[in-house]
Amino acid sequence: MQTEVLIIGSGPTGLSLAIELGSRSIPCVVIERNERVGYAPRAKTTNVRTREHLRRWGIAEKLAEASPLGLDYPSTIKFVTRLNGYALASFENGLDCSPEKNAFYSEHAQWIPQYTLEEVLRLHAQSLPCVQIRFMTELDSFVQDNNGVKATVRNLASGTVETIDSRYLVGADGARSTVRDAIGAKMEGKYGLSRNYNVVFRAPGLAQAHAHGQAIMYWQVNGEVPSLIGPMDTGDRWFFMPTNVAPDLKLTHDEAAALIRKATGIDLPYEILSSDEWVASRLIADKYRDRRVFLAGDACHLHPPMGGYGMNMGVADGVDLGWKLAATVQGWGGERLLGSYEAERRPVHNFVMDEAVANHAVLGAQLFQAGIENADEDGERIRACATEQIQRQKAREFKNLGVVLGYRYHDSAVIVSDGSPEAPYDSTAFTPCARPGCIAPHAWLDDDRSLYDTFGTGFTLLVAGSPDNNDSAALERATREAAEASVPLTISAPAHKGLDELYEARFALIRPDQHVAWRGDTWPDDGVSVFRRVSGQ
C-alpha cells in the first residue's frame, strides 16, 4: 500500500504526529506492535503546553471529561515520612493543574494516566479520514531512496508480511527504537542514574487510612523505603515508585505488596496489578534524521521522569515535525523546514533533560536525615530542617512553568530574528515573551475566547497594536505575498487592549505550532521573502 507518512509507534508521540498530519488531510499510517494503546501505565502529567495542543485539535474537553479523579481534585504534592507518619512539606497547585483561568495559558495541566490520554488521542486520530492505525503490526525493515521509503511490516497475529511505500517514515517507537538502530543513530550521555520500579496496585481504603489529606503525589522520606506513592485512577488504583533500588532487587508481586506496607506503615491487602523495572538515564541521539527517516520522542531522548517532561516533550516533537512534514507534502514547505526539526528540538531536549536530571539528584534518599521519624524534640528539629530543604530544593520540580512554556527556537533557520536580546532561562518564573522563536504570549480576549482561538492552522499574522489607517493596505499586501509564496495565512486582529505591550510590536507572524516566527511594527516591503524564510523555501 502507499501513504505519505508511515509512523512507527502509537504512543503519545506517534498519535500527536498522526493528528497533526490528519488534521491537514495528509494520509498517514501508524503501526503498533501491541494490541492497543496505553499498554503500560507510565506518565501521569499532561502539562499546560500539551493540553494547549489538544485545544488546537478540539479535544481538550474530551481529556477533561476523561479525568478519573476529576478536575477539582487538588493537585497538591506532599512530602511525608510515611503515609502514616509525619508531614514535612506541601506544594499547592503542583504542575499547574488547577482548572482556574490563568492569563499565561489557554489550558491548565491535568493529572491523568498516560493510557487515558492515549485513548483520547487514538479516538481522535481514528476519526480523521486520512489516518489509519494498525495494531499488532511491527516493522521488519525498510530501504529508502530519493523518492521515498519502502518498509516491510509484519502482522503479529496472522504472520502476514506486506510492503508500505511512503514519502517519509518516522520512528516514534520508544526507548528500544528499531528505527534508530536502522539509521545508525547512537544514544549518547549517561546511562543508569538510578534503578527504579513502577508498581500499580489496588488498595481499597488507603485514601482513608492516612491523615495527610488529598494529593496527587506523596513523597515518602524515610530510611527504609524512600519512595513516591499516589492515586492514579478510579477503583482505588494507585502507583508506587521505590527510588534507586538495589541492583539485585527483583520484585515479585508479594514482595512489592510487602514493600508498600513497609513504606507506608499501613497494613492493608494490596493487590499488585503490574510491576515494571525502569532505569533513569540521560541519553540523546547523535542524529534525529537520515534523509527521509526521522526520530521523535523517546526514540531520540531519554531522561528521568522528575518534572513530568518526557511524554510531553514527545507530543511537542510530534507537533513540530507534523506541521513541517505536512507543509512539505503540500508543496509550500522547503527543504530547510524539515532541516529545522532537529535544529529546533535538540536544544530544547538538552535544556529539559538538564532540568529533569537536576530534579532527579534530590530524591527521598537525599532528603532523609537520621532521626527524622523520632517522636521527640530532636525529631521535630530534624523534620524542620528537612522541610526547609524540601521547600528550597524541590520547588523547581513542581513550579516549572518556565520550562513548560519558556523554551524557544531562537537559532532556527526558519525564524527571523529581530535583534532583541535573549532572556536567560528560568525554570520556575515564566515571563511571556514575543521575541521570534518564543511561544506566542497568551491573552484572554474580552469575549472570553483565548487569543490562540483566533489563530489558523497555517501561519497567522497577528495585529497586536491599536488600529491604524495603514493596517488594511499592509494586511492586503501580506495576504497577496503569502499566496505568492503558497503559504496558508490567517489574519487575526482582535480588539484587545494590552496586546501591543505583550508583543512589543504592531505585527507578529505566528507559526502553526503557535511560536512567533517574525515580528515588527511595519510589514516589510518584501514580505514574500519573510514567508519564504519561515516556510524553509
Q: Note the helical H segments in 150-206.
A: 178-182
Does 363 reside within a domain? Answer: no
Q: Are residues 352 and 412 in the same domain?
A: no
Burial of 22 (0-12, 13-18, 19+ CB in 10 A): buried
SS3 474: helix
416 and 332: one domain? no
Instruction: Show which of 300, 334, 358 is a domain's final residue.
Output: 358
Which residues form the domain of 317?
Answer: 2-65+113-188+284-358
Same structural domain for residues 36 and 148? yes
The C-alpha atoms of residue 359 and residue 350 are separated, in whole angstroms, by 14
457 dihedral zone (left: phi>0; alpha: psi -120 to 50; beta)? alpha
Is 308 inside any structural domain? Answer: yes
Q: What is the pLDDT of residue 529?
A: 97
Considering the domain architecture, whether residues 445 and 530 belong to the same structural domain is answered as yes
337 and 482 in a common domain: no
Q: Are 345 and 283 in contact (CB under 8 A)?
A: no
pLDDT tens for the chain, 537 residues long, are: 999 999 999 999 999 999 999 999 999 999 999 988 876 667 899 999 999 999 999 999 999 999 999 999 999 999 999 999 999 999 999 999 999 999 999 999 999 999 999 999 999 999 999 999 999 999 999 999 999 999 999 999 999 999 999 999 999 999 999 999 999 999 999 999 998 889 999 999 999 999 999 999 999 999 999 999 999 999 999 999 998 787 777 889 999 999 999 999 999 999 999 998 889 999 999 999 999 999 999 999 999 999 999 999 999 999 999 999 999 999 999 999 999 999 999 999 999 999 999 999 999 999 999 999 999 999 999 999 999 999 999 999 999 999 999 999 988 999 999 999 988 888 888 999 999 999 999 999 999 999 999 999 999 999 997 767 678 899 999 999 999 999 999 999 998 889 999 999 999 999 999 999 999 999 999 999 999 999 999
169 three-state secondary structure: strand
74 in any annotated domain: no
CATH number, domain with residue 44: 3.50.50.60
Asked if residue 352 belongs to a domain, the reply is yes
Asked if residue 516 and residue 443 are part of one domain, the reply reads yes
CATH of the domain at 429: 3.40.30.120
Asked if 352 and 423 sit in the same domain, the reply is no
The whole-angstrom separation of Cα 257 and Cα 275 is 10
The residue assigned the cell 507534502 is: 329
| CB 240 within 8 Å of CB 228 | yes
Q: Are residues 348 and 433 in the same domain?
A: no
pLDDT for the residue numbered 40: 64
The cell numbers describing 213, all together, are 489529606
Domain contains 202: no
Q: Are 106 and 55 in contact (CB under 8 A)?
A: yes
304 and 169 share one domain = yes
Look at residue 41 in the predicted model and tell me its pLDDT. 66
Please check whether residue 491 lies inside any domain of the structure: yes
- Per the CB < 8 A criterion, the answer to whether 198 and 278 are in contact is yes
353 is a domain residue? yes
Burial class (CB in 10 A: 0-12, 13-18, 19+), 212: middle
Of 332, 358, 384, which marks where a domain is finished? 358
Identify whether residues 333 and 417 lie together within a single domain.
Answer: no
Helix (H, G, I), strand (E, B) or coil at 480: helix
From 358, 384, 399, the end of a domain falls on 358
In a domain, 86, yes or no: no
Please name the residue ranges forming H helices in 265-376: 310-330, 335-360, 364-367
For 440, other C-beta atoms within 10 Å of its C-beta total 26
Tell me how many domains the chain contains: 2
Residues 168 and 37 in one domain: yes
Is the domain of 327 the same as that of 474?
Answer: no
